[in-house]
């Protein structure tokens, strides 16, 4: 019985000594953030350079790898150009404060850039005519949007467009609306049911990709 008690005490002191000797060792893996500054949906787009930001707690050194991933600076800024597939990953590796290796993988959904839509007074009609009054046409605003793109701060601006009235020469309009008094007078003379085209719409956008072709807007007067 005495031998058993002695053995228990020896084991207890051994365990207690191990705990005390290791109680000051903390396994503190760093907090890591990997995200696109386009949106908070973890979505990147094929065909453009998507801005990527990587933040590591305590500014620990790390390595980031991924298909189409390019480092921009030493502040955690990258560009990602997704290729094939529906998903891509970024892998970040390094060592924490205790020199313990870590490996973090971040997944992003890949989407194709869909075509934008031309609008007049925020209305859009694909493969059909927009039915407007002469007043609505004279005072309306041309716009161009990308409804399927989840990109924060995406902006587009209409630089110019051309307008074709029946039996009249094509006129170029600068800006997003008709301001010429002479052109408005010509519109007021157009017959009811006539078709009017707005085409060669030129836009400027902060989307990091070239918009090759902007669809025309076909309008039919109802008065």
Residue 63 has pLDDT above 80, yes or no: yes
Res. 11 pLDDT band, cuts 50 70 90: very low
Alpha helices in the chain (DSSP H): 2-22, 134-139, 181-189
The residue-averaged pLDDT of 187-198 equals: 93
Whether 40 and 123 share a structural domain: no
Residue 2 has pLDDT above 70, yes or no: no
Whether 49 and 64 share a structural domain: yes
Beta strand segments in the chain, E: 32-36, 43-46, 50-56, 62-65, 69-71, 77-80, 87-95, 101-112, 117-120, 130-132, 142-145, 156-164, 171-174, 195-205, 217-221
Predicted confidence at residue 148, as pLDDT, reads 81
Which domain range does residue 64 map to?
28-112
Predicted confidence at residue 8, as pLDDT, reads 43
Whether 127 and 51 share a structural domain: no
Whether 62 and 85 share a structural domain: yes
Task: Report pTM.
Answer: 0.69
Calculate what percentage of the chain has a pLDDT beyond 90.
Answer: 57
**CA dist., res. 207 & res. 116, Å (int):** 11
Whether 139 and 69 share a structural domain: no
**CA dist., res. 144 & res. 200, Å (int):** 12
65 within some domain: yes
Whether 130 and 48 share a structural domain: no
137 within some domain: yes
178 within some domain: yes
Whether 102 and 186 share a structural domain: no
Q: Average model confidence (pLDDT) for the chain? A: 84
> Among the three residues 76, 97, 112, which one is the final residue of a domain in this structure?
112
């Amino acid at each position: 019985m005495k031998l058993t008690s002695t053995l228990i005490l020896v084991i207890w002191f051994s365990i207690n000594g191990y705990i005390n000797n290791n109680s000051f060792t903390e396994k503190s893996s760093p907090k890591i953030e990997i995200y696109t500054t386009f949106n908070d949906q973890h979505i990147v787009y094929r065909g453009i350079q998507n801005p990527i930001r990587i933040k590591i707690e305590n500014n620990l050194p790390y390595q980031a790898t991924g298909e189409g991933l390019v480092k921009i600076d030493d502040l955690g800024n990258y560009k990602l150009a997704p290729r094939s597939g529906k998903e891509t990953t970024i892998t970040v590796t390094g060592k924490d404060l205790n020199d313990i290796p870590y490996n973090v993988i971040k997944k992003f959904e890949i989407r194709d850039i869909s075509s934008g839509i031309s609008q007049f007074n925020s209305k859009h009609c694909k493969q059909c005519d927009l039915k407007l009054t002469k007043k609505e046409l004279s005072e309306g605003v041309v716009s161009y949007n990308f409804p399927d793109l989840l990109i924060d701060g995406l902006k587009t601006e209409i630089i110019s467009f051309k307008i074709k009235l029946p039996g009249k020469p094509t006129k170029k309009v600068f800006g997003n609306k008709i301001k010429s008094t002479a052109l408005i007078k010509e519109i007021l003379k157009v017959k009811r049911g006539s078709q009017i085209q707005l085409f060669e719409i030129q836009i400027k956008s902060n989307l990091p990709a070239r918009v090759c072709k902007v669809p025309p807007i076909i309008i039919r007067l109802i008065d």
